[in-house]
A and B are shown apart, each in its own frame.
Chain A
Amino acid sequence: MLTRRALLKIGAGLAAGVAGAPGRPRAAAAAQAPSQVVIAIWGLPVRMLGSNEAVFSYVNLMINDSLTAVDGQGNVSGRLAAQYPASPDGKTYLVTLRNAKFQDGTPVTAQDVKFSYEFYLHPKYPTTAPAFLEIAGGQEYKAGKASAVTGITVVNPRTVRFILNRPYPFFYEQIGTAAILPAHGLANVDMARLQEAPFARRPIGAGPYRLAEWRETESLTFEAFHDYWAGAPNLPRVVFKLIPEDATVLAELHAGNIDAGRILPEAYAQFQNDPRVTPLRVPGDTFYWFAPNLKLPIFQDVRVRQAMAYAINREEMLRALYRGLGTVCQSPVHPSLWQFDKQLKGYTYDPAKAKQLLAQAGWTPGSDGTAQKGGQPFKAKYAFLAGKDYQDQALLIQQYLRAVGISIDVQAVERGDFFSRYFTPGAPIELVGIAWFNLIFPPQAELEANFMSTGSTSQIIGYSNPKMDQLLQQVVLTRDRAAQKALYNQIQELVISDAPHILTIRPDVIWGVNKNFVLPSGVTSLRDFFGSLPRWKAR
């Protein structure tokens, strides 16, 4: 029951709010160097352990560190690992740790490393990365048939030896990049009730920022870890503030209530001359594509798929939907990686060629403009993951395909429904529109999942090309980078010529950042953006 007193207080608060003008005092405070940066984010993780959420990867960059890391170009560097040579046969890696500490002051030891990998390989751990099974004994441990992972040995408190089943060439990129957790923090934890452990709510890592406060669905506050091995971060505090609505982020940026936030491409021009905010173009990590169900006869002719690829005006999609801020995307490999084939000739916008290919495949233009073959019109249903980007793109794709005689009905599908009834093996889909979020570098895992016949996406759309399988398997058997590059080039060319997925665009992510903050240069991806936070400086 509201008492009169409480009502009066609330009324006073409301009045104070209107009169108090919190925007103004903040402007005054900004005259001193800010000690914290408030970043608006579109989602917050609900789990800190065993999380597969995309937003968790950014939190991971803040609070955790790993043995090795991969930079924006795909090059490896040592983080917690000072030395990490591989044996000549490529099956043994001897990792020597540097002098690093966890955020509670305890040193990072070899024991912690072994513990961490066994934690990730535990039978009950929900999100074990497939690459970890390359470690000898990993598979047995995961299956519950062994009590420890035989392939990981503690040589001395600062040295760990990893033995692999085969000379897997991506140890540094796919295995060494796992977050190292303190054994003492998770000892005796009940793996079946992982989220109920105190550590799950107050994690400790070896990364540059300590998780200081976690207000679920509201904000995450990080505080600088002064004993971080690479040096204390410049900014003492970082806050991720959850703001679901883009328009609100824009307004708060203008008002100075937040320091950084993602903004619409339309706003990029708005902020060019803004006294307070700098717009920043960050190449996106999201690759948009659509794929046909290859089990349907209508899509089995490769010329049909190529026709669809030629029909799409990718540049126009970027111009129309993203003010031209982004890149055309035809390779499943991130362009900043060394694996990217710079010579790759993808599909140009060529509707005439598209119609030609359709004609070669036996499709003739019908009276209403829809192509037909044997009395059947070329009609298909295009289901896409509900969301504004997918929706707008779907409408443009519909128009482009209609122009070459392919008539599609577009339909948005709610997320839960999409992944259970559409994007799952055996689903009766015709065309699906979705995107990848390339958070994991290097591309091997993504390529396997999407193009290997046993990969999860291939199983859904029914793609199987023995040549592709062979190429992908061969990469793993080669340790010479030049040879790998040649293979990746071939793989990318095969993705183009086979056209099992039709890739479209990779929009930039536009950030508005308060001019009080200086970012390091060379931010080439969204992941880099968050990874650069320890090196942000306040003016």
Chain B
Amino acid sequence: MVSQLASPAAESRRPRAGRRGARHRFVRNPRAIAGAAIMALFFTVALAAPRLAPFHPDVPHVLAILHGPAWPYLLGTDNLGRDVLSRIIVASRISLAIGVLSMLVSVVIGVLVGAPAGYFGGPADAVLMRLTDVVLAVPVFFLAVAFLALFGPSVPGLILIIGLTAWPPTARLVRAEFLSLRGRDFVAAARATGASSSRIITHHLLPNVVPVIVISATLRVGLAILTEAGLSFLGLGVQPPQPSWGNIIADGREYLATAWWVSLFPGLCVFLAVMAFNLVGDGLRDAFDPRLQI
């Protein structure tokens, strides 16, 4: 949200100046860099996954069932004697894919729906918002039950259903921002100078909505990974034996008191990933709007 300066023209110029300086500001931000480094580490691990895992993630070692973290099972073993570290490494690929890709799906759709709804108002708004309500009311697990049964276990399918059920909040947030911004002077000024609606939306309004979108996106990644964990709890997530952080945590829940490492370590990975996205997201937001940085 941009403050109201005296000059509408100066205000509408800000975003352009911001973009060039944004990268500059981002790399000067130590927290953002830390977050980006963690993200880079995760993505590298995810890409190299099978080769990095010390053991095959699916192979049971029946003599080492529920062993605590120790050599050679550095993060312990689960109830089938599978190495938790290996499973986490291989699972990173799937969980990060689910987190990031479903976030992209939901953010893109959310903006595509929320922006016109907030800007144009009227019947377009009414229709789009009712569509939003409809999607909000369909619980993700119904989709999951049907999808799992129809197409069998499929990670792209999960990404789709999590993304398709997660966009309404982003849409409503974007819409709310647009609603409150469109009455501002700089918009009227832009219209007066003959700018088209789409130009106004993309050049003047969207950059001001970046903070909201960024927060939404960073939260979405964690929420998506957790949604998959909840679905795994119900038996509808990534199907075993394929590991995901979510289903490792779900399967380990019976041993919370006795073999806490099974659920805790993948949980820590989710936490680190969410933190990293959060830091990067904050950095992006601050990069676009330097006056918020103190």
Residues in A lying within 8 Å of B, measured CB to CB: 246-247, 264, 266, 316, 319-321, 386-388, 391-392, 395-396, 398-399, 410-412, 414, 416-417
A247 to B236: give the CA distance in the assembly, Å. 20
Query: Cβ of A396 and Cβ of B80 under 8 Å apart?
Result: yes
A386 to B145: give the CA distance in the assembly, Å. 13
Query: Cβ of B153 and Cβ of A412 under 8 Å apart?
Result: yes
Query: Cβ of B80 and Cβ of A247 under 8 Å apart?
Result: no
A320-B60, A399-B60 known; A388 vs B251 contact (CB < 8 Å): yes
Query: Cβ of A392 and Cβ of B80 under 8 Å apart?
Result: yes
Interface of B is mostly: loop
B79 at interface by CB-CB < 8 Å: yes
Chain B residues near A411 (CB, 8 Å)?
152-153, 239
Query: Cβ of B148 and Cβ of A414 under 8 Å apart?
Result: yes
Q: Given known contacts A264-B254, A266-B255, A414-B149, what 13 new A-B pairs fall within 8 Å (CB)?
A: A246-B254, A319-B62, A320-B60, A320-B62, A321-B79, A392-B79, A395-B60, A399-B59, A411-B152, A412-B153, A412-B239, A412-B240, A414-B145
Tell me, rounded to whole Å, the shortest Cβ–Cβ distance linking A103 to chain B. 38
Chain B residues near A246 (CB, 8 Å)?
254
B37-96 with Cβ < 8 A to chain A = 58-60, 62, 65-66, 79-81
A410 to B65: give the CA distance in the assembly, Å. 21
Query: Cβ of B254 and Cβ of A416 under 8 Å apart?
Result: no
A410 to B79: give the CA distance in the assembly, Å. 18
Q: Which residue of A lies closest to B150 (CB)?
A: A417
Tell me, rounded to whole Å, the shortest Cβ–Cβ distance linking A83 to chain B. 51
Q: Which residue of B lies closest to A247 (CB)?
A: B254
A391 to B240: give the CA distance in the assembly, Å. 7
B256-270 with Cβ < 8 A to chain A = 256, 258
Chain A residues near B58 (CB, 8 Å)?
395, 398
A392-B79, A399-B60, A414-B148 known; A247 vs B256 contact (CB < 8 Å): yes
B253 at interface by CB-CB < 8 Å: yes
7 tightest A-B contacts by CB?
A417-B149, A320-B62, A412-B239, A391-B240, A386-B235, A414-B149, A414-B148
Tell me, rounded to whole Å, the shortest Cβ–Cβ distance linking B150 to chain A. 9
A320 to B67: give the CA distance in the assembly, Å. 12
B241 at interface by CB-CB < 8 Å: yes
A396 to B79: give the CA distance in the assembly, Å. 12
Tell me, rounded to whole Å, the shortest Cβ–Cβ distance linking B134 to chain A. 25
Among B59, B241, B255, point to the contact of A410 (Cβ < 8 A).
Answer: B241
Chain B residues near A264 (CB, 8 Å)?
254
Tell me, rounded to whole Å, the shortest Cβ–Cβ distance linking B142 to chain A. 13
Chain A residues near B255 (CB, 8 Å)?
266
Query: Cβ of B60 and Cβ of A396 under 8 Å apart?
Result: yes
Chain A residues near B60 (CB, 8 Å)?
320, 395-396, 399
Chain B residues near A321 (CB, 8 Å)?
79-80
Residues in B lying within 8 Å of A, measured CB to CB: 58-60, 62, 65-66, 79-81, 145, 148-149, 152-153, 235-236, 239-241, 251, 253-256, 258
A414 to B234: give the CA distance in the assembly, Å. 10
A247 to B251: give the CA distance in the assembly, Å. 12
Chain B residues near A396 (CB, 8 Å)?
60, 62, 80
A416 to B236: give the CA distance in the assembly, Å. 12
Query: Cβ of B253 and Cβ of A320 under 8 Å apart?
Result: no
A316-B62, A319-B62, A412-B240 known; A395 vs B80 contact (CB < 8 Å): yes
A417 to B239: give the CA distance in the assembly, Å. 14
A387 to B235: give the CA distance in the assembly, Å. 8
A264 to B257: give the CA distance in the assembly, Å. 13
A319 to B80: give the CA distance in the assembly, Å. 11
Chain A residues near B236 (CB, 8 Å)?
414
Tell me, rounded to whole Å, the shortest Cβ–Cβ distance linking B94 to chain A. 16
Chain A residues near B148 (CB, 8 Å)?
414, 417
Q: Which residue of B lies closest to A396 (CB)?
A: B60
Chain B residues near A388 (CB, 8 Å)?
251
Chain A residues near B251 (CB, 8 Å)?
388
Query: Cβ of B235 and Cβ of A414 under 8 Å apart?
Result: yes
Pick the most buried of B80, B253, B255: most chain A CB atoms within 10 A of its CB.
Answer: B80
Mind listing 23 A-B residue pairs with CB under 8 Å? Answer: A247-B256, A264-B254, A266-B254, A266-B258, A316-B62, A319-B62, A320-B65, A320-B81, A321-B79, A391-B240, A391-B241, A395-B60, A395-B80, A396-B60, A396-B62, A398-B58, A399-B59, A412-B153, A414-B148, A414-B235, A414-B236, A416-B145, A417-B149
A417 to B59: give the CA distance in the assembly, Å. 27
A417 to B258: give the CA distance in the assembly, Å. 34
Tell me, rounded to whole Å, the shortest Cβ–Cβ distance linking A279 to chain B. 15
A373 to B99: give the CA distance in the assembly, Å. 44
Tell me, rounded to whole Å, the shortest Cβ–Cβ distance linking A270 to chain B. 8
Q: Which residue of A lies closest to B240 (CB)?
A: A391
Query: Cβ of A416 and Cβ of B80 under 8 Å apart?
Result: no
Chain B residues near A319 (CB, 8 Å)?
62
Chain B residues near A417 (CB, 8 Å)?
148-149
Tell me, rounded to whole Å, the shortest Cβ–Cβ distance linking A272 to chain B. 15
A489 to B240: give the CA distance in the assembly, Å. 39
Chain B residues near A412 (CB, 8 Å)?
153, 235, 239-240
A437 to B132: give the CA distance in the assembly, Å. 46
Tell me, rounded to whole Å, the shortest Cβ–Cβ distance linking B175 to chain A. 25
Chain A residues near B66 (CB, 8 Å)?
266
A399 to B241: give the CA distance in the assembly, Å. 12
